[in-house]
Amino acid sequence: MVHSRHRDKQTVADEDSSRGRSTIAVHAGESRQKYGDAITDAIFCSSTFTFTDSQSVIDFIEQKQHREEYGRYGSPGEKFVEAKIAALEGGQEAVLFASGMAAIVGLLMTKLGHGDEIIFFDECYHRSREFCTKHLSRYGVVTRQVPTCDYAAMEAAITPKTRLLISESPTNPHLSCIDMERFVQIGREHGVETLIDATLATPCNLRSIEAGVDYVLHSATKYLGGHNDLLAGVVIGQSDSLEPVRNLRGVMGAVSAPHNIYLLARGLKTLELRMDRHNKNGLAVAEFLQDHPRVERVYYPGLSTHPYYEVARRTMRGYGGLVTFLVKGADWRETADVIDAVTIPRIGPSLGGVESLIEQPMVMSYYGCTPQEREQYGIPDNMIRLACGIENTEDLIADLAQALTI
């Protein structure tokens, strides 16, 4: 039997919603006075939770008592961090998962059944697309992909069976930005729910819930955790819509371990400070690359040359640390030489941590694809994705300058 986990009716998070992001990030979701009078939350390494007597078991099952039962259904640390993230995003409730992909899989498996249809913009995280096209299809869910930001195509693809409209914003790795108003309006007009994967934006740069999106999703592995030391994912939305998601998570068992949760809560406290630096580094690096003779094209929403600059400027507070660019006239090997020549960013997948990371999508994530598939996904051989960390801006630029002279 699966029990939904009930949130403490602690109103701290609600009261906090008018405060600044950092105030919320540091304090929301936490009790003021904690176990052992410690200022930090305890890490409860407990797989199960005990009852004083049989009556208290019955009271819990009859939902007269809100408490923990068994680690797969929730834990005390998880409760704090979920409340903190819900407050940061301005949503009613958050459900934490073991990774971003677990969150996507959990949400889609909950909301979709045989015969249902979903529509998503085609620029997206490779594994999200893979889950929809390769796996959901086996359960009779039909996936329709339409060109990113083609709102007319999205609307035209809606049928009475459509259950969910899905997009990232900004997209990975092309950094296209969604016009939230139009996206939400299409969903509302047709009675279809909307989902935004706002991993690249964070609640600091984009206010998806305020724009009316039904579900906001983050890979907390990236900026929310922020230190390249954990995996987690989260879905934020209305409590009643998320209750079945929470129940399925309890069945899937895609929960985070207590130490992981502690690291996430700790990372979140500096989210806004880190984002300010990621935003600064991203913009400065994009501007530097844009003027560089060896660079063919830069994808960054903060550049006035970016196709979605106006949308981004209207809806975002900053544009994040991810910068994608093409090395002019370079084949895959010459592009790899640029990557091999940098001395500060490490070579690796992922983004959003304090350490800068650099990669060639053709080599890192799309090596197994055919050239035709890479062309279809918009991944040329000379594309580099740089995830700026929080290092000093001048150092990152000087490092890129020397790598590009090679």
CB of 173 to ligand PLP, least distance (A): 9
Distance CA(195)–CA(187), nearest Å, equals 10
CB of 361 to ligand PLP, least distance (A): 12
Nearest residue (CB) to ligand PLP, 6 versus 127: 127
- Which residue of this chain has its Cβ atom nearest to ligand PLP in the complex? 100
Nearest residue (CB) to ligand PLP, 25 versus 220: 220
Which residue matches tokens 């930005």? 177
CB of 98 to ligand PLP, least distance (A): 8
Nearest residue (CB) to ligand PLP, 230 versus 298: 230
Sheet with 162-168, strands from edge to edge, namely: 93-97, 233-237, 215-219, 193-197, 162-168, 117-121, 142-146
Distance CA(110)–CA(164), nearest Å, equals 12
> What tokens appear for 179 in the block?
């016009």
Nearest residue (CB) to ligand PLP, 132 versus 158: 132
Residues near ligand PLP, by CB under 6 A: 99-101, 125, 128, 168, 172, 197, 199-200, 219, 221-222, 231, 233
CB of 220 to ligand PLP, least distance (A): 7
CB of 326 to ligand PLP, least distance (A): 20
Nearest residue (CB) to ligand PLP, 123 versus 272: 123
Sheet with 383-387, strands from edge to edge, namely: 295-299, 322-327, 383-387, 357-359, 346-347
CB of 377 to ligand PLP, least distance (A): 14
CB 263 within 8 A of CB 353: no
Distance CA(294)–CA(380), nearest Å, equals 16
Angle of CA points 70, 46, 43, to nearest 5°: 125
Nearest residue (CB) to ligand PLP, 68 versus 197: 197
